[in-house]
Each structure stands twice: as C-alpha cells, then as structure tokens.
Amino acid sequence: MTTRQLAEWGISRQLAHRYIQNGWLELLGYGYYLRTGDILTDKGAVAALEANGVRVHIGGKSALALKGFAHYLSLGGEKIYLYGKGVRSLPAWFTEKFDPVLTTGQLFAEGDSLQERLCVGPLEENDPHSPVVSEPERAVLELLDLVPKQQTLAEARQIIEGLYSLRSKKMQHLLERCKKVKVKRLFWELAGELKLPVLERIDTSAIDFGAAANYILAGEKTLALKNPVRSTDG
C-alpha cells in the first residue's frame, strides 16, 4: 500500500505511524507500507510503484512469462524487467527485495505516461490494483531490444518460438512506431526462421527498416540482419 492509497481510505501519515507502532503495518520505505502478515510479491510491489506515480510497467521477458510464454521453468528469484522513460531510479526497498532491470530508453514513438504507451494494460482487467504489463506483441520487441548485451539471442529465439498467437494489427502498429532498426530487423529475421504466421499479414511497405545495407549484430553469434524490403545490392 502507498501513502496515497491510505489517504483515500482516511488514514493519515500519523495514523499509519500508530499502526506501525501497534504492529499492524510494516514500513517498507518512504511512502510504502505492507500489512503485517501479508506476503510481498513482485507484481504487488510494481502495482504500488505505479500507484505512487512511478511511471514503469512490466515488459519484455517478464511480461511474456506472465502471459504464459516462458521457455525456462521459473525457480524463483528471477529478474523483473521494468520499462519507464524518465524514471531515474527505483526505491531502495524495491531493489533490495527484488532483482529489477530498469530500461529507460524510448523504443517506440509514444508518450511518457502509462496511459499513452502502446499495447500495455493491467495484468488482470478486473483488478484495480493489478500492475500494468506489456501485451505479447510489445513485449517481444522489448525482449529483442536487450539482445545481445542483456539478453542472449539463443533464449530469445526459444521464447519467440512459442509466439504463434501474435496479432498482426498490433504487431503492424508497433513495428511502424518502433524507433530501432535493429529490433525490427531482428524480429523479422527470427519470426521468418520460425515461420510465425503473423508475418503473412504485415505490410512491410509501411515499416522503416532503415538503409539497404545489412545490420551487423555481434554477440554469441554474429548475424547480418537484412532489410526485408530493400536488397543490399540496390
């Protein structure tokens, strides 16, 4: 819970302090509380950040795992991938209890607020305290944005292999608004290798894949990512 939420319920900071003294609440950090006996989860913690005005959402590999597209069995203690333009840091209590990876660059041409972001929404539509999460079409591009420095190409390919239900209209819109040539070409390359049906219904003429020359992606495997629209020989 946050100070803002407590205030909505008529609980002042002074009353919250009394609840802490009586053992009814635990103070996580400035402005954040946990009801004594409750278990703190990463999803609940992110929802609290969002409720307190921290403009982050769960994306990339974490969002895909929450939607059921995880390659490896979850054993607990995994990194949680958060995205938020203009967010300089996360509260100390959050980084102490979880292992977040915060990405602050702008992958898409969109506004900064959660409401203006493309293809994100509450994890549970009927739960007002549910965290905001990327839809699979956005999450796969966020995942590829971290290849190869923070995400291996091999695991990314294994995750994408199961994404046969990607929606073409959303994918088209996101690829048109995506600002990184590497991400768009890498998605096209992997989706083509894996024969994902979404490619059959995407209009490449509306997507900027950059210049005709190959984009060289160096990592555990060097790839020459071709422009799917223009040939390298002109």
- Within a domain: 232: no
Q: Is the same domain home to 136 and 180?
A: yes
When mean pLDDT is compared across 38-42, 61-65, 211-215, 220-224, the lowest value belongs to 220-224
| Within a domain: 55 | yes
Domain that holds residue 73: 40-225
- Model confidence band, residue 221 (pLDDT cutoffs 50, 70, 90): confident
Please check whether residue 45 lies inside any domain of the structure: yes
Judgement on whether residues 44 and 34 belong to the same structural domain of the protein = no
CA distance 120 to 44: 17
Residues 19 and 44 occupy one common structural domain:
no
pLDDT value, residue 220: 73
19 and 104 co-located in one domain: no
Instruction: Give the global pTM.
Output: 0.92
- What does the pLDDT read at residue 115? 93
Could you tell me if 179 and 84 lie in one domain? yes
Read off the pLDDT of residues 89-129 as tens digits, 9 standing for 90 and up: 999 999 999 999 999 999 999 998 999 999 999 999 888 88
Same domain for 78 and 31: no
Q: Is 234 contained in some domain?
A: no
| pLDDT score of 86 | 83
pLDDT range class, residue 74, cuts 50, 70, 90: low
Under the banding of pLDDT at 50, 70 and 90, the label for residue 231 is low
pLDDT of residue 25: 97
- Do 23 and 56 belong together in one domain? no
Distances (CA, A) of 217 to 53, 144, 221, 224: 36, 12, 8, 6
- One DSSP character per residue, 53-96 reads T---EE-HHHHHHHTT--SSPP-S---EEEE-TT-----HHHHH
Shared-domain flag, residues 128 and 63: yes
- Check residue 232 and give its pLDDT: 40
Q: How far is CA 227 from CA 138, 143, 185, 210, in A?
A: 21, 20, 7, 7
For residue 230, is it within any domain? Answer: no
124 lies in some domain:
yes
**With 80 as the cut, is the pLDDT of residue 73 above it?**
no
- 233 belongs to a structural domain: no
Share above pLDDT 70 across residues of the chain, in percent, rounded to a whole number: 95
Same domain, 131 and 191: yes
Domain co-membership, 123 together with 202: yes
Could you give the number of structural domains in the chain? 2
